[in-house]
Each structure stands twice: as structure tokens, then as C-alpha cells.
């Protein structure tokens, strides 16, 4: 049985949701086991995060409802029989599991369809195919129409609750941050020319599995940091290259960390590497320094974009007005992604509910400008939010060639100078930050990130 918060925590969350949703009945399906190559050989089990948030139990084979009309919570599921117990050992009953999360009404799974018949059924967008099939059968909505039929009212209610982490969640996030820090420092120390990328990716994943449920997303570990999500680990570490690792842990209560560090394989920065690195570090640290309640994260993104543009201008790579370079998206040749996203039970927290519900609201809408449009989190920060701050500078040869041929933003970009960096690679620095009542707190222990700290850690087993 997975660890749980006190049952009152789940009751309180469900009651708060009841206050924000006007009527109908919300159905939450558990995630089922997912076969790798035959039905009983499965991937690591991962419960749906909304189910975890409201009902805590990390087990397949159940469905739960929050009935807003009747004010009831019910867990549907079937107790194990002797055939299961022979293979799996004694199993708790559904009623005893439900009791642990403050639910006293449990019913057999076969009763779920009847319960929902004729009711206004609310659901979140299903992202697993088996649950799409189930939900389609329960609601009569064609699979292709489920996503657009998801309840905006339910989604907004969930986002409002899950965005602000409570003290129990913050404690778990700190724990995930500790695991993440061990992952990163272990890899840094083992990093040397001649070591395989695979060994280091496996080391990071092994740490995540040793202390928690495993990784919070597939490890990104690459000497080609300019490829933003590079999961190819076939390379051998080579002197002169950077190594970028973007990796996080999921702790035993399924809370996630997400950190990125980039450093020279040799453990010693060249002058050219250092110059670009210091710009990204400044964007990361100023980004963090500007996190506080009441600030729009879009504006923190622009602060980081200006720092990138100003730093690159100083090196002769960019030119012109740095504020303009940020607002127009000229900087995005070098940083085509957003400054960060919310973090919690999901590494991109609540992304199943729709990015625009999570990162945008009535007061801020998504930009259509390349780069700025990739910002996942733009809205006003509130106490309890946890966000990543992850600026980067990348030299992506294919993107450079397209922009150069179009003379795109030629008033801001010195394309001749860019050529000197064509094979530079990419740097990203990412930390996880809690918005506190009067500012911010970086989650988890400090992971080496200054040039000096990295030079004192990389390769020093
Ligand atoms: N894990 C990918 C990211 O940092 O958003
Ligand atoms: Mn990351
Ligand atoms: Mn991230």
C-alpha cells in the first residue's frame, strides 16, 4: 500500500472541489496496468494524478465519483478473489482502502454505469486509451469527442486547488528535491571523458528508484544539449563537450522534482563556454529572484529573455535594444522554450488538464510569437505555487540556417558572429521554486551550479 496523507486531507480537498463545482457528478478513473510485451508483463504502474490528489490510492481497478448534486464521494471497485491472492498475497478490501482516504461509501464496479445513467457526468480529458474506451462506454460520447467534452468547470476547480500546494505537499516536494539533488551530484561526480552517457543516465535512474518511485520523466542526458529533449544515450563522453542532464525523481508519494545542470565533460570550462554559461546562470538566478506572489510568470520569462539578449549582445552575437529583442521574440533563436512550468504530482503539473487552463487565465493569453508561445506558465504567481525556472541558450544549427536564410530579426542578430558558435551545443539550468507569502524558496538542497562549484564537483568521485 502506498503512503498516504491523513484522510482529512483528501476529505478537505473533495469538499473544496464541491464548493467550486455547481452540479453533476465527476468521475475519476484509476489508471490501469500498461503491458510492455504481454498482458502480465507491465510498465511501472503510475496512478492518475487527479485520482491521487482526491483519493490517494495508487492502485488500478477502481473508479471514484464526487457527486456534486448529492454531496457524496463513492469508490467503485471489486475485492480480490483467491486466484489473485495466490499470486499477490493477501489484499486489502476496497472498503478498507477507501476508509484510509475518508470514503465510507464503496460499491462494486458493475454498479458504476447505473450510477451515472441519466446524470450530468463531468470528467477530465482522458489521456490513456483504455480509459478513453471506458469513458466513452460510460458516457456514450464518441472517443474522438471526449477531449472537447471534458468539463471546463471541473478542470478549473481542480487547477485552482492543485496549483497551490499545501504543507503536506511541500514536504513531499522537498523530499523529491533531495532525491533529485542526489541524482545530479552523483552524475556530476562520475562524469569524465570516456564514460558512456548510458552509464550516467542509468546512474541517475537508479538513484531515483533507490529513494522513490523512479524518474519523473525519461532522463535527458546529452552532449547535444541544443536538442531540447534528447533521450539518446548512445554517446561516449568526450573532452571539450558539455554534458547536459535534465532529470527528476518521483518520490514515494508521487511528487516530482525537475532539475537541469550543464557542465563541461572535462570538469573545466573554456573561456567561451564560461561566457555563455554565465549568461544562462544570471537568467536562472534573476528569474528565481523575481519569483513572488502577484508577479505574472510571463513577466519573469521576459526578464530572463532580456538577460539572454543582453548577454549575447555583449558577446556580439545579438545587437539592438534588448527589451525589444525580448518582446519581439528575437532572442528565441537561442532559447525557443518557456522559462518554466508548474511542478507537483506531474513534472508538467496538470498538463493532462490542458496547458492553457494551467498556465493562462482570463487575464493573460498565449502569445503566438515563436518561443514566447512555448511558455507553459504565464499567469500570476500565488503563494504555494511551485514552478521551474529553466532558462537556456542553445545553438541549433538547423534553426540558425532557417532564420539566417530568411534574414529573420537581422536587426537583432549578428548572423556572422553566430557562425562562430554553430557547434557550441546548448546549456540549460533548472531549479524548482516555491512561491512563499513574501517571496520564494528554492525546493531541495542546493545543487552545484556556479562555474566554481561545478569545477570543484565534476569528475571528483
Ligand atoms: N522535463 C522537461 C522540462 O524541464 O520541462
Ligand atoms: Mn527539466
Ligand atoms: Mn522543467
Question: What are the boundaries of each domain within the chain?
Answer: 7-163, 167-455
Which long-range contacts does 90-93 make (Cβ < 8 Å, 24+ apart)?
92/1
CATH for 7-163?
3.40.350.10
Q: Is the pLDDT at 440 greater than 90, yes or no? A: yes
**352: helix, coil or strand?**
helix
Q: Is the pLDDT at 229 greater than 90, yes or no? A: no
The residue to which cell 520569462 is assigned: 301
The backbone region for 407, taken as left when phi is positive above 0, alpha when psi lies in -120 to 50, beta otherwise, is: left
pTM for this one? 0.97
**Nearest ligand, measured from the Cα of 389:** 3
DSSP string computed for 78-145: ----HHHHHHH-----HHHHHHHTT--EEE-GGGHHHHHTTS-EE-PPP-SHHHHHHHHHHH---GGG
Which atom of ligand 1 approaches the CA of 247 most closely?
A: 1
Q: How many helices (H) and strands (E) does the chain have?
A: 17, 17
Read off the pLDDT band of 50 (50, 70, 90).
very high
Across the range 367-386, mean pLDDT stands at 97
**Nearest ligand, measured from the Cα of 343:** 3
Residue 94 CA, distance from chain mean position: 31
Per-residue pLDDT at 1: 81
Read off the pLDDT band of 84 (50, 70, 90).
confident
Q: Is 258 in the pocket of ligand 1 (CB under 6 A)?
A: yes
Average pLDDT, the chain: 97
Tell me how many degrees the CA angle 90-93-96 measures, rounded to the nearest 5: 120
Q: Is the pLDDT at 231 greater than 90, yes or no? A: no
Across the range 280-285, mean pLDDT stands at 98
Q: How far is the CA of 258 from the centre of ligand 1 (A)?
A: 7
Q: What is the pLDDT of residues 289-314, one digit of tens each?
A: 999 999 999 999 999 999 999 999 99
CATH topology of domain 167-455: Creatine Amidinohydrolase (3.90.230)
Q: Is the pLDDT at 232 greater than 90, yes or no? A: no
Tell me how many degrees the CA angle 45-184-176 measures, rounded to the nearest 5: 45
Per-residue pLDDT at 230: 80
Q: Is the pLDDT at 16 greater than 90, yes or no? A: yes
Q: How far is the CA of 217 from the centre of ligand 1 (A)?
A: 8
CA atoms of 284 and 226, how far apart (whole Å): 17
CB 292 within 8 A of CB 440: yes
Per-residue CA distances from 199 to 70, 226, 280 (Å): 55, 21, 27
Read off the pLDDT band of 425 (50, 70, 90).
very high
Q: List the 72-77 sheet strands across, edge first.
A: 105-107, 72-77, 62-67, 25-29, 121-122
Q: Is 246 in the pocket of ligand 1 (CB under 6 A)?
A: yes
Per-residue pLDDT at 237: 98
Amino acid at each position: 500500500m502506498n503512503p498516504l496523507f491523513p484522510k482529512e486531507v483528501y476529505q478537505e480537498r473533495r469538499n473544496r472541489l464541491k464548493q467550486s463545482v455547481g452540479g453533476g457528478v465527476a468521475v475519476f478513473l484509476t489508471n490501469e496496468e500498461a503491458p510492455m510485451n504481454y498482458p502480465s508483463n507491465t510498465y511501472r504502474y503510475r496512478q492518475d494524478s487527479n485520482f491521487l490528489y482526491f483519493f490517494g490510492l495508487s492502485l488500478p481497478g477502481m473508479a471514484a465519483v464526487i457527486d456534486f448534486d448529492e454531496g457524496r464521494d463513492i469508490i467503485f471497485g471489486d475485492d480480490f478473489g483467491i486466484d489473485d491472492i495466490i499470486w499477490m498475497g493477501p489484499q486489502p478490501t476496497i472498503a478498507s482502502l477507501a476508509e484510509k482516504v475518508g470514503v465510507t461509501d464503496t460499491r462494486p464496479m458493475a454498479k458504476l454505469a447505473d450510477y451515472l445513467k441519466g446524470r450530468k457526468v463531468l470528467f477530465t480529458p482522458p489521456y490513456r486509451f483504455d480509459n478513453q474506451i471506458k469513458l466513452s462506454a460510460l458516457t456514450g460520447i464518441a472517443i474522438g469527442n471526449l477531449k472537447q467534452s471534458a468539463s471546463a468547470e471541473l478542470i478549473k476547480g481542480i487547477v485552482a486547488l492543485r496549483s497551490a500546494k499545501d504543507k503536506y505537499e511541500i514536504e513531499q516536494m522537498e523530499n523529491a528535491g533531495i532525491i533529485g539533488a542526489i541524482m545530479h551530484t552523483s552524475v556530476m561526480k562520475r562524469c569524465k571523458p570516456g564514460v558512456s552517457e548510458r552509464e550516467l543516465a542509468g546512474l541517475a535512474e537508479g538513484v531515483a528508484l533507490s529513494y522513490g518511485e523512479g524518474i519523473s520523466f525519461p532522463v535527458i542526458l546529452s552532449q547535444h544539449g541544443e536538442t531540447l529533449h534528447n533521450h539518446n544515450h548512445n554517446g561516449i563522453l568526450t573532452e571539450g563537450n558539455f554534458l547536459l542532464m535534465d532529470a527528476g525523481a518521483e518520490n514515494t508519494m508521487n511528487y516530482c522534482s525537475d532539475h537541469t545542470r550543464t557542465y563541461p565533460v572535462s570538469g573545466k570550462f573554456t573561456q567561451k563556454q564560461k561566457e555563455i554559461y554565465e549568461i544562462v546562470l544570471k537568467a536562472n538566478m534573476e528569474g528565481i529572484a523575481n519569483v513572488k506572489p502577484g508577479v505574472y510568470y510571463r513577466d519573469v520569462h521576459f526578464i530572463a529573455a532580456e538577460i539572454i539578449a543582453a548577454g549575447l549582445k555583449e558577446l556580439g552575437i545579438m545587437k539592438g535594444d534588448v527589451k525589444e529583442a525580448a518582446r519581439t521574440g528575437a532572442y528565441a533563436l537561442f532559447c525557443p522554450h518557456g522559462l518554466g512550468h508548474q511542478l507537483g504530482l506531474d513534472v508538467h503539473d496538470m498538463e493532462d488538464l490542458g496547458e492553457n487552463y494551467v498556465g493562462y487565465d482570463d487575464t493573460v493569453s498565449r502569445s503566438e510569437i515563436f518561443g514566447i508561445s512555448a511558455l507553459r506558465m504565464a499567469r500570476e504567481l500565488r503563494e504555494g505555487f511551485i514552478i521551474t525556472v529553466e532558462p537556456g541558450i542553445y545553438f541549433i544549427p538547423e534553426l540558425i540556417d532557417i532564420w539566417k536564410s530568411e534574414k529573420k530579426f537581422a536587426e537583432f542578430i549578428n548572423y556572422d558572429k553566430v557562425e562562430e558558435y554553430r557547434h557550441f551545443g546548448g546549456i540549460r539550468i533548472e531549479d524548482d521554486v516555491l512561491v512563499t507569502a513574501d517571496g520564494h524558496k528554492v525546493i531541495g538542497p542546493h545543487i552545484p551550479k556556479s562555474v566554481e562549484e561545478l569545477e570543484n564537483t565534476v569528475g571528483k568521485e
